[in-house]
Amino acid sequence: MNTTLELCLVLSVVAVACALPGAFLVLRRSAMTSDAIGHVLIFGIVLAYFVVRDLDSPWLMFGAAASGLLAVVLVEALEKSGRVKADAALGLVFAALFAAGVLMVSVSVKNVHLDVDQVLLGQPDYATQPRWELFGTALAPVWVMTAALALNVLLIGLFFKELKLSTFDPGLAASLGFRPAVIHYALMSVVSITAVAAFDAVGPVLVVGFFVVPAAAAYLLTDRLAVMLVLASAFGVVAAFVGTFAASEANTTTAGAVAAALGLLFAAVFLVAPGRGLIAQSLQQTRQRRAFYETMLAVHLMQHEGTPEEAEESRYDGIHNHFTWVPKKVAAVVSRAERNGLVTRAGEVLKLTDTGRARAREVLGASEEPTPPTPLPEGKGEAEPLLSPPSLQGGGPGG
């Protein structure tokens, strides 16, 4: 198999495995938890090494996963204390555990060289080479990542209803006996395991990218959770292929190219997403602003309809004096109001149509005619009010 295509498939496995739990992180507003987990892994790896004294032991991965879960528990504990905000708690735990891990490496594990490029960008090009040994069998990161993907698909498929309900309505989930706290920590355990496997395969930059960016892009396109999971997975795969082939053509780092592809993909969705994209929002604001100006014109004409000042106030060439609009803007507003059937123009005088009059009444709160008072029976005086005004009831509270 072509080396580039093989690498695309490896990164696609990582992308889908991260995007599935990443969608729930984005919906729970815990996206940066993946970043914290990805950086505190060194703390668990060092502690596990102190126990097994073997750099090739798979127990190092279990130690890393445990440190990720520990970070989540500590963040939750600090947040629930009420003294620390969620983002501050995340920063405190992330910095403390990461610094502790680096300190233990520098003090206790001598003669260890940490390559900055490899630590930040990882080595996805070597993800197919055996790196671990389990029961005499050599394991490559890609197979560990494939197992993580299978686990994520299985768990999300089995507990989709529970995850969905606890994500969108934890209170209802608790009332139905689903235990949102247990589901939350189970999800974070899955995130931690996935982050460990992905960290070993592609490095921390792509771990965060695959967890957050595809899910964030999918969230702009749909309100359905199942569709969001599918879109997030598809976006991750597309970025993996585009970035890998771009890196091959430009002869640059694969991880950096894939991360850049993720950023460009999100930027494209952010611009063109229907309803939520930047272009769609800008067009909607423009339509609302134009409708507001047309409504202002309709209200102005209605307020002077049938008055002695109507001839002057409704003249086309005098509108700019009443609204401080430049003549060009007056022409545009009147033209749109005519096209939308709000006003008609007879020479220099503007007249409201029934549609324009209805819109003006709606704005002024006069869509219905006031109900005439009920006449009193003969021999009766003025009807007494059912409730006296507050000023006549003893002066109000305390009176």
- The domains of the chain, with CATH numbers, are 3-208 (1.10.3470.10), 281-364 (1.10.10.10)
pLDDT tens-digit series, residues 203-220: 777 888 899 999 999 999
Is the pLDDT at 371 greater than 70? The verdict is: no
Contact status, residue 246 vs residue 262, Cβ threshold 8 Å = no
What 3-state DSSP class applies to 322?
A: helix
Q: How far apart are CA 269 and CA 213, in angstroms?
A: 11
Is the pLDDT at 368 greater than 70? The verdict is: no
Q: What is the mean pLDDT of the chain?
A: 81
Percentage of the chain with pLDDT > 70? 81
**What per-residue confidence (pLDDT) applies to 381?**
46
Angle between helices 180-202 and 160-168 (to 10 degrees): 110
- Angle at CA 344, nearest 5°, toward 338 and 348? 110
Q: Calculate the CA 90 to chain-centre distance.
A: 19
**What per-residue confidence (pLDDT) applies to 128?**
64
Q: 40 or 165: which carries more pLDDT confidence?
A: 165
Is the pLDDT at 366 greater than 60? The verdict is: no
Q: Calculate the CA 92 to chain-centre distance.
A: 24
Is the pLDDT at 17 greater than 60? The verdict is: yes
Locus of tokens 């204390």: 81
**What per-residue confidence (pLDDT) applies to 271?**
95
Q: How far apart are CA 24 and CA 38, in angstroms?
A: 17
Secondary structure (DSSP) of 2-28: -HHHHHHHHHHHHHHHHHHHHHHHHHT
Is the pLDDT at 398 greater than 60? The verdict is: no
- Angle at CA 291, nearest 5°, toward 316 and 348? 10
Which of 321-324's residues contact partners 24+ apart within 8 Å by CB, and which partners?
323/296, 323/297
Is the pLDDT at 34 greater than 70? The verdict is: yes
pLDDT range class, residue 181, cuts 50, 70, 90: confident
pLDDT range class, residue 399, cuts 50, 70, 90: very low
Contact status, residue 97 vs residue 67, Cβ threshold 8 Å = yes
Is the pLDDT at 389 greater than 50? The verdict is: no
Is the pLDDT at 262 greater than 90? The verdict is: yes
**What per-residue confidence (pLDDT) applies to 391?**
42
Token pair for residue 304?
A: 């002077």
pTM for this structure?
A: 0.75
Q: 230 or 396: which carries more pLDDT confidence?
A: 230
Over residues 167-187, the mean pLDDT reads 87
Locus of tokens 């964030």: 216
Is the pLDDT at 63 greater than 80? The verdict is: yes
**What per-residue confidence (pLDDT) applies to 176?**
85
Over residues 89-105, the mean pLDDT reads 82
Q: Calculate the CA 14 to chain-centre distance.
A: 21
**What per-residue confidence (pLDDT) applies to 288?**
92
Is the pLDDT at 394 greater than 70? The verdict is: no
**CA atoms in the 13 A half-sphere facing the CB of 354:** 0
pLDDT tens-digit series, residues 99-153: 888 788 777 665 555 544 455 556 666 666 666 566 556 566 778 888 889 999 9
The H or E element that residue 126 is part of is: none
Over residues 245-253, the mean pLDDT reads 87
pLDDT tens-digit series, residues 303-354: 888 888 888 888 888 788 888 888 888 889 999 999 999 999 887 888 899 9
Q: How far apart are CA 6 and CA 349, in angstroms?
A: 73
Taken as a whole, the chain contains a residue count of: 399
pLDDT range class, residue 374, cuts 50, 70, 90: low
**What per-residue confidence (pLDDT) applies to 365?**
78
| Signed CA dihedral, 40, 30, 151, 203: sign only | negative
Q: 21 or 197: which carries more pLDDT confidence?
A: 21
Q: How far apart are CA 342 and CA 355, in angstroms?
A: 5
pLDDT range class, residue 383, cuts 50, 70, 90: very low
Q: How far apart are CA 325 and CA 313, in angstroms?
A: 14
Is the pLDDT at 196 greater than 90? The verdict is: no
